[in-house]
Amino acid sequence: MADVLPLVEARLHSALGEPDARAAVTFLGTDRIEVLRFPAAGQEGDVVRYATLGMSAQPMADPTAALADPVKGPRAELLLSVRAGAADTDKVLRPLAVLAASPQVEGVIVAPGASLDVGEPLWPGAPFTSVLVAEPGGLVEDLELDAPMEAVRFLPLLPMTPNEAAWKRVHGAPALQERWLNHGTDLRDPSRRPVPLD
């Protein structure tokens, strides 16, 4: 089986350019997770992007399965886009690595529509402690792998305030995304106010 991570990193570079920083985090009993920082460039000159590298090395296993399949199963990496300069968002590296390690640590499958909570602000002073996993395919295309391996999907993360996360649990992800859209919410603003939920 081909080593997946060099292919994943090449896909990230082709879609986002060259990273200007990277950090590695290793949790007990897990593979190393790196987080790459891609500087603001091009038309969206003020948006910095963070991408995990390492989550896709192993397929995510169904937590109810007796034995994890080492080859088959969904694979993913996480992407976060925020406006640069308005907050110390580089401190998001460790929380992102924690989220990327969650399939190995907690046996969860990260998929669009899921909520992921780190239990603390995503960066100092952030009004967000959790994220909504959005649909892949917009920013970085899926990376097809040789069968029987599934494609690596690059899942965008949308920061949620605690109230938004609670509202989403009741009403669902599509309803929250529609509310953000209707109110013109800038989901890349690192210090944005919560969307009206009444």
Q: For 109-156, what is each residue's pLDDT tens digit?
A: 999 999 999 999 999 999 999 999 999 988 899 999 998 999 999 999
Position 96 confidence tier, pLDDT thresholds 50, 70, 90: very high
Q: Mapping DSSP to helix (H, G, I), strand (E, B) and coil, where does residue 23 land?
A: strand
pLDDT at 40: 75
Rounded to an integer, what is the distance from CA 103 to the centroid of its chain?
Answer: 12
Burial of 113 (0-12, 13-18, 19+ CB in 10 A): middle
3-state secondary structure at position 133: strand
pLDDT at 1: 44
In angstroms, the CA 132 to CA 154 distance is 14
CB 88 within 8 A of CB 54: no
Query: Within 10 Å of residue 58's Cβ, how many Cβ atoms?
Result: 18
The answer to whether 113 and 133 are in contact (CB under 8 A) is yes
- For the chain, give the mean pLDDT: 90
pLDDT attached to residue 31? 82
Strand order in the sheet with 47-53: 21-25, 33-38, 47-53, 75-83, 152-160, 130-133, 115-117
The 3-state DSSP class for residue 2 equals coil
CA dist 89 and 86 (Å) reads 8
Q: What is the pTM of this model?
A: 0.93
CA gyration radius, the chain:
16
What pLDDT does residue 190 have? 94
Q: Which residue matches tokens 């994890």?
A: 68
pLDDT beyond 60 at 35: yes
* Tens-digit pLDDT profile for residues 22-34: 999 888 777 889 9
- What pLDDT score does 106 carry? 85
Which helix (H) or strand (E) element contains residue 77? Answer: strand 75-83
Q: Is the pLDDT of residue 61 over 60?
A: yes
pLDDT, mean of residues 79-87: 90
Inter-axis angle of helices 173-182 and 162-171, nearest 10: 120
Q: Are 12 and 36 in contact (CB under 8 A)?
A: yes
Q: Could you tell me the pLDDT band of residue 48, with boundaries at 50, 70 and 90?
A: very high
